Amino acid sequence: MKNQRLPILALLLALLVVAGCKLGDSQATATPKLLPTSGTTATLHPTVTMEPATAAPTAAVATTVAPTVAPATAAPTAAATATEMATATPTETPTPAPTATPLPLPEGELEHLSNIGPYLLTPPEAGQPTHELLKDGHMRAWFAINPAHWAAADALPNMEGYGRNYMDEQEELSFIRRREQGARGYYDRFRPTYEQARGNVHAWMSTWAFVYGDKGFAEDWVAFQREWLRLMHADGYLAGVGGMKSYPFKAGEFAWLAPAIAEADYVFLGESDAPTLMTGAGHTTFRYRELYAELQAALGEQPAPELILDVCVDGAVLVALDAPGGPHWQRGYRDYNISPEAYAADVRAYDISTLFDPYVRHVFWFATNISEDTRSFDVNTPMLELADSWHVAAETP
């Protein structure tokens, strides 16, 4: 009986050994089969693979291997990390000096057009380079302070002229706050200049002083401008309102002025930034687009008047915004160590952008250097020569 059990025990022992070996083999082959599964799991949970902040190569491989999965699995954690990295970059990496990059020239009929004209703070004296350039050039219009004081020989009859009279800011505000009575006093004060420049000035701008964010003042302003416009139109003059900067307006405030703007022939707005115009895009420049959208909504079916802009590089914007890194007393491109060529390219980029807004009639440029003694804006004739070339098609060789 014992002899019969021995073969049975031996057989059972052999079976156990074989079973154990097969179990080991199955476990060994199961491991590589799990690798694709673990890879898929990692793809479905990007927070796991992106957890190490320095694992840029891994993230790159993940997006390469499964680009279709990435958009569907963009976790909030990953988005927040990307935002933090984007906001942290400027503080960790030195910011390069700003350079003006002109936009590609428009094609077709816009190819050799420009809205730019000169903003003249002093008379373009006959016989001087600026007058000769404007008299024989291609720019369509000019804007000037006190053009009634020009000599007869200084006139530019081939160009569309726009004028304004200068008054101290506080004195001008006092006229505006007296509403209709102030408008009549203001009109009487400058009526001789309107009459003297009749025929040389296409349209006049009214006041430039303004108090932003004050609805009560806005109501005074509307009453003043409507009466001034009534008087100007009654005497046969074209007239526009505005003159303020575009960037201090908060949402909805420009629409407060709609009742007066609706009666104007033109709207005037100023835009500026430093060290270039294009660096302020969306912040202090091109804000006129938002304001005009508000204005048109307020006017309903009545079309808004055409817009006339004046532009310059002026550090006063940075002062107003309490920008870091001051002092910001600089005016003109030279104080910012920008070449005349780069500054002109910057203005041309702004100019080209306005060509695609059909309601923009002119862009008057403080084509400036800065005066050595007063640091005030000063006309730079070579800059105006560049602007004049924007109005004509380039000659083909």
Quickly tell me which residue has 């703007």 as its tokens.
Answer: 261
**Which residue from 307, 387, 375 is spatially nearest to 347, judged by alpha carbons?**
387
Chain segment 139-184, per-residue pLDDT in tens: 999 999 999 999 999 999 999 999 999 999 999 999 999 999 999 9
Q: pLDDT exceeding 90 applies to what percent of the chain?
A: 57
Average pLDDT over residues 239-264: 98
Token pair of 351, please?
Answer: 């100019």
Q: Using CA atoms, how far apart are residues 247 and 67, in angstroms rounded to an integer?
A: 42
Q: Using CA atoms, how far apart are residues 111 and 113, in angstroms rounded to an integer?
A: 6
Average pLDDT over residues 309-327: 89
Residue of higher predicted confidence among 253 and 93: 253
Q: Using CA atoms, how far apart are residues 166 and 143, in angstroms rounded to an integer?
A: 13
Chain segment 179-234, per-residue pLDDT in tens: 999 999 999 999 999 999 999 999 999 999 999 999 999 999 999 999 999 999 99
Q: Which residues pair with 268 in a beta bridge?
A: 242, 308
Which domains does the chain carry?
A: 2-27+34-91 (no CATH), 114-389 (3.20.20.80)
Query: What pLDDT sits at residue 106?
Result: 57
Q: Using CA atoms, how far apart are residues 249 and 241, in angstroms rounded to an integer?
A: 16
Average pLDDT over residues 133-139: 94
Q: How, if at all, do strands 266-273 and 306-313 pair?
A: parallel
Label residue 131 exposed, middle or buried (CB < 10 Å: 0-12, 13-18, 19+).
buried
Q: What is the mean pLDDT of the chain?
A: 77
Q: Global pTM?
A: 0.72
**Which residue from 170, 309, 330, 165 is spatially nearest to 237, judged by alpha carbons?**
165
Label residue 287 exposed, middle or buried (CB < 10 Å: 0-12, 13-18, 19+).
buried
Token pair of 135, please?
Answer: 């008299």
DSSP state of 198: B
